[in-house]
């Protein structure tokens, strides 16, 4: 999902600041002219301090009255400050005053998505699309939303992706043979991503880049993110060719890929922030695949394969709802390297307290109303149990009240829902140390979170649904030998969680053994996985060569 910071360049900007003293924000007094407030707000925005823009923007409204631009910017700043209800009010007011202000609708969509209010988010995104139909960001955010929102079946989601892809005409050389004999050199593989950095994708792609067989494969990484970090530096050391491409337009990136003579080009982003799917639509490489970053079709006919496995995408219905051919790897669809620095699991907290703590460490936007209803049933079935919820801005009373109210609607007393704010990775593991059993959201399961939770010794209860995003935790649990923790329906989900809560000995046994189980699983066998992936790449290339040969005979 695109970050809010990327929107600011498209919003209202303040007046010319040349020659002004910007050392400190101007104090807010009604007697000051609005330009001083503009300067204070702009200074905060330019410095990355969006909450610091709240008071100057409020002052501007007090002095000059309603303005759609100011309402929109104030809504953005309030969202960053965690004042979500007030932020929604100002964004709605901006849209009311100027229905064609796409940025107001888009920011409202982002905010409602944060709160797992999917219907409201979808309406807002569609408002942005109506206002500015040609802006791709609005389209991609809507496509991402459809994967999370209940009520959209696989056919609906697939058709929406195909509608987006229909704007790209098939390139004239899409079926032109460009194969070169395999024995003339190594297979040239290119990975395109905006997530070669401190991002969850790095946990998946890092081990593969590290263990690729350099005798047979020549690796190119096309990095589409402007900033780099320590993770970027580490991944750069694994690739023979590193191309920073965030500043390249589609023409230039296509030209670079063709000049590099890439045989197989792999998208790692799908429709997430920083993708380069319009370049894939031009078919710059003879074989193209998508993997890791987006467990759904891209909609593009120019991407030949989506790499997966039989757990994520069981044969049958999954094959019907994708523009790509599903290439199922024999064991699992990806490997994962957890943090070795994570603390060793201790005893489960229920052994000392006598009461079970369930936990949700996933992003709150995955917690649908249906999930809240099922989790409320679990709390009703396990008297004395509590639910730890990790929520963005969870330290703010208004957010705590909002989360508690959702559970109170199902008869759960507020004191049984413990809301905490999100934290860094070290804090993430501290939170897991205080949780006995993790509850996985649905229909969009945890991914990286499930891996790290099991690594921390905390069992995860999941509900298997339709599509890869709804079966990720089922695959992971199957790999570590715990398929019994994956439910087929809501009643079974409640029963599994309640059964675990009533068996503290098994919870303790899992706490002590899960890390070893993970180490022994195919998920952790990164070298073996990389060889399997390379075999798939070879087979994809050979299939292309065979078709190329047949077409030219």
pLDDT 10s digits, 80-108: 998 999 999 999 999 999 999 999 999 99
Domains of the chain: 4-147 (1.25.40.10), 184-335+528-551 (3.40.50.11380), 350-519 (3.40.50.2000)
Residue 124 to residue 106: CA distance in whole angstroms: 6
pLDDT beyond 70 at 176? no
DSSP 199-260: SHHHHHHHHHHHH--TTTEEEEEEE--S---HHHHHHHTT-SEEEE-TT--HHHHHHHHHHT
Residue 46 has pLDDT above 90, yes or no: no
The per-residue pLDDT of the chain, averaged, comes to 89
Q: Which residue has the higher pLDDT, 1 or 309?
A: 309
Looking at residue 318, its pLDDT comes to: 87
Q: Is the confidence at residue 485, as pLDDT, over 70? A: yes
Per-residue confidence band for 11, with pLDDT thresholds at 50, 70 and 90:
very low
pLDDT in tens, 251-291: 999 999 999 999 999 999 999 999 999 999 999 999 999 99
pLDDT (0 to 100) of residue 21: 30
- Mean per-residue pLDDT for 137-159? 90
Query: What is the mean predicted confidence (pLDDT) over 166-184?
Result: 67
**pLDDT of amino acid 553:** 62
pLDDT at residue 298 greater than cutoff 60 = yes
pLDDT at 191 over 60: yes
User: Taking residues 486-514, what's their average pLDDT?
Assistant: 97
Burial class (CB in 10 A: 0-12, 13-18, 19+), 184: exposed
Which residues of 383-507 form beta strands (DSSP E)? 386-391, 417-421, 437-439, 460-463, 486-487
Tell me what pLDDT residue 473 has: 97
d(CA 318, CA 312): 9
Q: Is the pLDDT of residue 491 over 90?
A: yes
pLDDT at position 177 is 53
Predicted pLDDT of residue 475: 97
- Top pLDDT among 298 and 44 is at 298
Task: Answer whether residue 36 shows pLDDT above 70.
Answer: yes
- The percent of residues in the chain predicted with pLDDT above 70, rounded, is 91
Crossing angle of the two packed helices 504-519 and 448-455, in degrees rounded to 10: 110
Residue 540 CA, chain-centre distance (Å), reads 27
Phi, psi of 266 (to 5 degrees): -120, 120
Q: Within a 10 A sphere around the Cβ of 533, how many other Cβ atoms?
A: 23
pLDDT band at 2 (very low <50, low <70, confident <90, very high): very low
pLDDT digits (tens, 9 = 90+) for 204-229: 999 999 999 999 999 999 999 999 99
Of residues 62 and 24, more confidently modeled: 62
Stretch 545-552: mean pLDDT, rounded? 79
Residue located via tokens 């396990």: 382
Lowest mean pLDDT among 56-65, 177-186, 512-521: 177-186
- Of 337, 277, 358, 265, which is closest to residue 523 (Cα–Cα)? 337
pLDDT range class, residue 3, cuts 50, 70, 90: very low
Q: Which two tokens stand for residue 525?
A: 């066998």
Whether 175 shows a pLDDT value over 70: the answer reads no
Average the pLDDT over 509-523 and give the result: 96
Residue 14 has pLDDT above 60, yes or no: no
CA 553 to each of CA 535, 546, 550: distance values in angstroms, whole numbers, following the listed order: 27, 11, 5
Report which of 368, 372, 190 is spatially closest to residue 279, judged by C-alpha positions: 190
Which residues are bridge partners to 305 per DSSP?
Answer: 289, 325
Q: From residue 468, give the alpha-carbon distance in Å to each of 200, 294, 307, 438, 442.
A: 17, 9, 11, 20, 12
How confident is the model at residue 124, as a pLDDT? 96
pLDDT at position 413 over 70: yes
| Preceding peptide of 412 cis, ω within 30° | no
For the chain, give the percent of residues with pLDDT over 90. Answer: 74
pLDDT value of position 179: 56
- Is a pLDDT exceeding 90 seen at residue 121? yes
Please give the structure tokens belonging to residue 141.
């955010």
């Amino acid at each position: 999902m695109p970050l809010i910071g990327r929107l600011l360049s498209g919003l209202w900007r303040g007046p010319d600041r040349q020659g002004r003293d910007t050392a400190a924000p101007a104090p807010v007094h009604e007697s000051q002219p609005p330009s001083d407030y503009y300067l204070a707000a702009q200074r905060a925005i330019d410095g990355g301090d969006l909450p610091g823009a709240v008071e100057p923007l409020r002052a501007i409204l007090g002095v000059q009255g309603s303005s759609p631009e100011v309402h929109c910017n104030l809504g953005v700043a309030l969202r960053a400050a965690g004042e979500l209800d007030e932020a929604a009010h100002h964004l709605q007011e901006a849209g009311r005053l100027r229905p064609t202000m796409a940025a107001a609708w888009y920011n409202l969509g982002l905010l409602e998505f944060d709160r797992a209010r999917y219907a409201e988010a979808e309406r807002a995104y569609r408002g942005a699309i109506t206002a500015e139909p040609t802006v791709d960001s609005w389209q991609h955010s809507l496509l991402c939303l459809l994967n999370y929102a209940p009520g959209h079946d696989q056919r609906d989601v697939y058709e929406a992706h195909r509608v987006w892809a229909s704007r790209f005409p098939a390139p004239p050389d899409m079926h032109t043979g460009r194969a070169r004999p395999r024995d003339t050199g190594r297979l040239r593989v290119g990975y395109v991503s905006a997530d070669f950095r401190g991002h969850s994708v790095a946990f998946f792609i890092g081990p593969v880049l590290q263990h690729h067989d350099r005798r047979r494969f020549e690796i190119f990484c096309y990095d589409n993110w402007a900033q780099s970090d320590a993770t970027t530096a580490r991944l750069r050391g694994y690739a023979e060719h590193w191309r920073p491409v965030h500043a390249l337009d589609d023409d230039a990136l296509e030209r670079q890929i063709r000049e590099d003579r890439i045989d197989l080009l792999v998208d790692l982003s799908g429709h997430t922030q920083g993708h380069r799917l319009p370049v894939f639509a031009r078919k710059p490489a003879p074989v193209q695949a998508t993997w890791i970053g987006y467990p759904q079709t891209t909609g593009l006919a120019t991407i030949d394969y989506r790499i997966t496995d039989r757990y994520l995408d069981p044969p049958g219905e999954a094959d019907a709802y994708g523009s790509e051919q599903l290439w199922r790897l024999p064991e699992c669809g990806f490997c994962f390297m957890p943090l070795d620095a994570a603390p060793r699991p201790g005893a489960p907290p229920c052994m000392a307290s006598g009461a079970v703590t369930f936990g949700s460490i996933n992003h709150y936007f995955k917690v649908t109303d249906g999930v809240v209803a099922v989790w409320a049933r679990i709390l009703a079935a396990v008297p004395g149990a509590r639910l730890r919820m990790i929520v963005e801005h969870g330290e703010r009373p208004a957010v705590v009240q909002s989360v508690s109210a959702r559970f109170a609607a199902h008869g759960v007393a507020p004191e049984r829902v413990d809301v905490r704010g999100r934290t860094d990775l070290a804090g993430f593991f501290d939170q897991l140390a205080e949780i006995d059993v993790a509850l996985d959201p649905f229909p969009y399961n945890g991914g990286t979170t499930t891996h790290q939770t099991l690594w921390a010794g905390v069992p995860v209860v999941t509900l298997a649904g339709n599509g890869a995003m709804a079966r990720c935790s089922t695959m992971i649990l199957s790999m570590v030998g715990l398929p019994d923790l994956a439910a087929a329906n809501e009643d079974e989900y409640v029963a599994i969680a309640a059964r675990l809560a009533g068996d503290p000995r098994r919870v303790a046994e899992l706490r002590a053994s899960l890390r070893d189980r993970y180490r022994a699983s195919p998920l952790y066998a990164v070298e073996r996985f990389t060889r399997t992936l390379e075999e798939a790449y070879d087979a994809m290339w050979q299939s292309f060569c065979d078709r190329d040969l047949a077409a030219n005979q």
